[in-house]
Structure formats: structure tokens, C-alpha cells
Amino acid sequence: MDRQRLFKLFIFIAILAAIVTAVKVFGFDRYLEKDRLQSWINNFGSAGPIAYVILFSITPSLFLPGLPVTVAGGIAFGPFWGTVYASIGSTIGACLAFLIARYFARSQIENLLTGRLQAIDEGVKKNGWLFVATTRLIPLFPFNLLNYAFGLTKIRFKTYAITSWICMLPATIAYTVFSSSLLDILHGRVSKELIIGVALIVIVSSIPVIYKMRR
């Protein structure tokens, strides 16, 4: 799991570096000024944030990665509103998958969770909301699959929704704040958002390591 996490982090950094290099080489950075991008977003009025939240809401149900959408929110809306919209979208998406599993596709989800459902169900029975919190902060199971899995347990929807929202928030803040500084990186500037974002990502990434050490 540690090697897989490091590999994903390496791929993320490599892709980010490749994008930055390509943008600089081909001169696309002149089209990515913050003021220009913000003006373009404002042209959509209230439809921009709504469209973003809807996009994020359907991402977990389609088993698509949420990180690129989170990064896009930070770039498009900045650290504060990007965090707000990404948090709303990711929470709705997690709740939507939960409800699909509980009321509409139980047998299909059970087939997907062969060999894992028992462990998740036992975890909920023993620790309730604390198990939800732990699995949100520490990637013991694939994130999108976990959303469906909780729908098959006996945990209350309200408990699941609130716990998921709170415990997904740290990572959402970290990656949104970091991504809000990407346009500055393209122009060779090191902003306070970049420094804060990197620090938050390091803190969030260290949670699983600390958890394993304490166990």
C-alpha cells in the first residue's frame, strides 16, 4: 500500500511537471492569468459553481478519481470557494453512492465487494462512525468503492454523511489550496498558497503513517 501510494504521488508530480513545462514551452501561460481566468468564470454567473458541484457529485458513482476535479476547483475558484464547492460536491457524491447501494443496486454492489464487505460491516458494527472517520482519513479501502460499501451496512445515513464531510475536508482543503497556486507556478512565482498547500498535503499524507506507527 505504501509503495502504491508513493507511486501515485510520483505520477501526480510527474504529470504536473510535464504540464507546467509544456505550458511554458508553448507560451500558453499568457492565457492563464488569474484575472483573465476569473473573468471567464464570472461570465457563467451562478452556473459555473453549480456545474462544478454537479460534475463532482457524479464522479464517485462513476468510479472516477476525484483528485483532478479537486485540483480544477482550486484553479478555477481559488482556495476558499474552491474548497467550499469541492467539499459540497464530494460530500454529495459520497452520499449519492451510499444511497444507490442501499436502495437501488444492492446485489450488484455486493458482487463488487466480494471479500471486502464483511470487514467493512464488522468495522461499522464495532466502531460505528469512528470506523467511517478512520477509513476517510486513512485509505484502508478504495475510496469510491467504500462509498458504496457503507450503503450496505447498518450505519445511519445522517451519521455517514456528517462524518464523511468532516473527515474528507482536510484533504479537500490541502489539495484545493495547493492547486490554487498552480497558475503562479507557471509564471515562476512562489505564493503563500503554494507553501501552505504543500505543508497541508504533507500533514494529510502523514496521517496513515502515524496511524500505522501507533498500531
Spell out the domain ranges in the chain. 26-214
The pLDDT of residue 60 is 81
Largest CA distance in the chain: 56
Residue 63: what pLDDT? 76
Task: Give me the pLDDT at residue 1, please.
Answer: 46
pTM for the complete prediction?
0.75
Per-residue 3-state assignment (H helix, E strand, C coil) for 130-197: HHHHHHHHCCCCCHHHHHHHHHCCCCCHHHHHHHHHHHHHHHHHHHHHHHCCHHHHHCCCCCHHHHHH
User: Quick one: pLDDT at residue 166?
Assistant: 94
DSSP state for residue 200 in the 8-state scheme? H
Under 8 Å between Cβ of 166 and 134? no
**Predicted local distance difference test score (pLDDT) of residue 180:** 84
Residue ranges of the alpha helices (H) in 59-142?
Answer: 67-103, 106-112, 117-127, 129-137
Residue 4's identity, in one-letter code, is: Q
With a cut of 70, which residues of the chain have pLDDT below it?
1-43, 108-109, 112-115, 139-141, 186-188, 211-212, 215
Q: Tell me the C-alpha distance between 175 and 82, whole Å.
A: 10
